[in-house]
Amino acid sequence: MTKRFPQTRYINPIHEILDPMQPPTSYLPAVALHYGYMQEDSAGALRQKANKYLHILRAEAKREPKNPKHYLDLERVHGMVGELEPALRACDKGIALAKPSRSILLYPLYADKAAHLFRLQRYDAALETISEYFRFRSKPTAFDLELHCLSGTICFHLKQYARCAAELVLYLKRLNEFKRGLFQGPELMVYSENSTDDSTYKRVIMQLVSAYFLSGDYPSALASLRAHVQDNWYEDPEYADGLIELETAIMVAFSDYSALPQLFGKLTGDSLTLLYGWLERQMALPERRKSILHALGKLPESSGYLSLANIRYAYEFGGGAPAEEIEAALLKLRNAGPLYADALYLAICQKCRPEILWETFDLLHLEQYFSDNAFFHFPDLPLQICRLYAKYSEQAGPLAALLQAQLLYWLLPSCPPGGELLVLCDTLANASRAYVQAQGLDSSAESEPPDCLPESIRVGCYFYAALFTGNLQHRMNAVRSAARLSPQTVDAAKTILACIQQSLSAAAGSSPN
């Protein structure tokens, strides 16, 4: 005997409707889960279970042909496996059966039909379905949230930005009413809370601000951004880029950069780097540079961004900046990640004092400072750094000298081979050996440094003590020793070894034996 189904409904989460390119795999009826005909497991079994469930539902529909609920469940299972046309036919049958009694099942049927049409990119038909829903319902329901949001998204796709903004404003109005408990009645049985979750709200606000901006209503775009966007959104990688793009575009539209200091205060890490990149591009335009520098002048004295902006401007357009200004910027930017690499490059070009550069240097963030991005912008930076620190190693203590050797370990593969590189290697290798001897360690590649040393220094002790002795066998021992410490060091060790061999070859004018 066929099991009867309860009156539970489940509508499509709005965040899974928004993207028409996303596969429709989320229409999982709660009733099916309840009775165990389907379980939330691998997608591979989805089709088989859907077919089994469709067979049961068709039998139910034949036994009760005038019950619209069976067609609601049918269209959901069809939609779950991507059969959108059969899902639409089931929606139409369910709507035709539910209309005479004005059943609340019309709410999810209209919502699902609009979602299916949206996925099929039949936007005009989807908007007409949403309009039909609003003509049918006599008072606001929880489904208004779903359909205002979907209607706004469709209008955005159609580039009807003013209409999109109007729909999303209605969504926010209904959301406020819902949170105040003004929605009452049985329609809440079929309501999906996904239309009020934090992720959906953020996406709606982003789309609303974008719609206002693209429609040319810049004051409303700025007002919406100020009214709804919270500071912690700028720390969310899913939204930070879009927010920075919107806010800076609004600044350009108004030719008003007074909000820049406030924006700087909200950002950290990659988001801050993104803003700096935008700022640098804007300052390249003479008509905007003065306004931006004026706005940046309101930044707190502790910030290094104004200093770096002024230095960049002086270096690129004025022939140089005083070394004192660059050194001050270095001190302020010592923890600013890739921005430090920019300042360091300028400092080297302007011949700042090596001790200032060393004072601001942070070995723990070395790989971040000298990423591929920094090398891409400044291809001669690695060799310049090696020259500077090799020179400074003559007056540094043993530990600082070893850290400089570690610096070369990371930078060497990016340096061009040649006789100068051999001299640099020899200078820093001597510093490394001096540290090993100062610690009472054997300088051969076979000795074990104490476990209390960080791994980077452990590798340095192994590697540099034998790598630059001039004996090829010792160098091969160094590669093997580094490999014993950490598999990740093997490739780097081989790369440096090849680089040294190229240098030997270039210096001798012949290929190595």
Residue 27 pLDDT: 32
Most confident of 30-34, 451-455, 483-487: 483-487
Q: What is the distance between the alpha carbons of residues 220 and 408, in angstroms, rounded to a whole number?
A: 53
CATH 1.25.40.10 residue ranges in the chain? 14-206
Question: How confident is the model at residue 497, as a pLDDT?
Answer: 63
| DSSP-assigned states of every residue in 398-455 | HHHHHHHHHHHHHHGGGSPPSHHHHHHHHHHHHHHHHHHHHTT---STT----TTS-H
**pLDDT value at 158 more than 60:** yes
Lowest mean pLDDT among 67-81, 116-130, 309-323: 309-323
pLDDT 10s digits, 277-331 = 787 677 667 777 777 767 766 665 445 555 565 555 555 544 555 667 677 767 7
pLDDT above 90 as % of the chain:
9
- CA nearest 406: which of 455, 448, 441? 455
Separation between Cα atoms, residue 468 and residue 466, nearest integer Å: 6
Q: Averaged over 256-285, what is the pLDDT?
A: 75
Query: Concatenated DSSP letters for 377-401?
Result: H-TTHHHHHHHHHHHHTTTS-HHHH
Judged against a pLDDT cut of 90, whether residue 169 lies above it is answered with yes
* pLDDT for res 388: 66
Q: Higher-confidence residue: 405 or 22?
A: 405
CATH superfamily of 14-206: Tetratricopeptide repeat domain (1.25.40.10)
- Residue 2 CB burial class (10 angstroms; 0-12, 13-18, ≥19): exposed
Q: Which of 168-182, 378-392, 458-472 has the lowest mean pLDDT?
A: 458-472
d(CA 108, CA 123): 18
Q: What is the number of alpha carbons within 13 Å of residue 27 lying toward its C-beta?
A: 28
The per-residue pLDDT for 196 is 55
Say if residues 307 and 332 touch (Cβ distance below 8 Å).
yes
Q: How many residues does the chain have?
A: 513
Residue type, 304: G
Q: How far apart are CA 18 and CA 142, in angstroms?
A: 18
Residue, of 63 and 371, whose pLDDT is higher: 63
Give the pLDDT confidence score for residue 122 in this predicted structure: 92
pLDDT surpassing 50 at residue 117: yes
**Measured distance CA(499)–CA(478) in Å, rounded:** 15
| Mean pLDDT on 450-458 | 44
Higher pLDDT, 96 or 244: 96
Residue 163 pLDDT class (50, 70, 90 cuts): very high
Band of pLDDT at residue 68, cut at 50, 70 and 90: confident
Confidence of residue 363 (pLDDT cuts 50, 70, 90): very low
> Does residue 73 contact residue 5 with C-beta atoms inside 8 Å?
yes
- The predicted model gives 160-165 an average pLDDT of 93
Mean per-residue pLDDT, 232-251: 83
More confident residue, 337 or 42: 337
pLDDT at 180 over 60: yes
Q: Which of 90-99, 147-156, 225-234, 259-268 has the lowest mean pLDDT?
A: 259-268
- Give the mean pLDDT of 472-501: 59
Q: What is the chain's mean pLDDT, rounded?
A: 67
Whose structure tokens read 């220094």? 457
DSSP string, 128-164: HHHHHHHHH-SS--THHHHHHHHHHHHHHHTT-HHHH
Q: 472-486, pLDDT tens digit by residue?
A: 555 556 555 555 555
Cβ burial 32-54 (10 Å sphere, 16+ → b, else e): beeeebbeeeeeeebeebbeebb
- Confidence band for 69, pLDDT divided at 50, 70 and 90: confident
- Mean pLDDT to the nearest integer, 435-464: 49
Single-letter amino acid code for the residue at 310: N
pTM: 0.57
Average pLDDT in the 445-458 region? 44
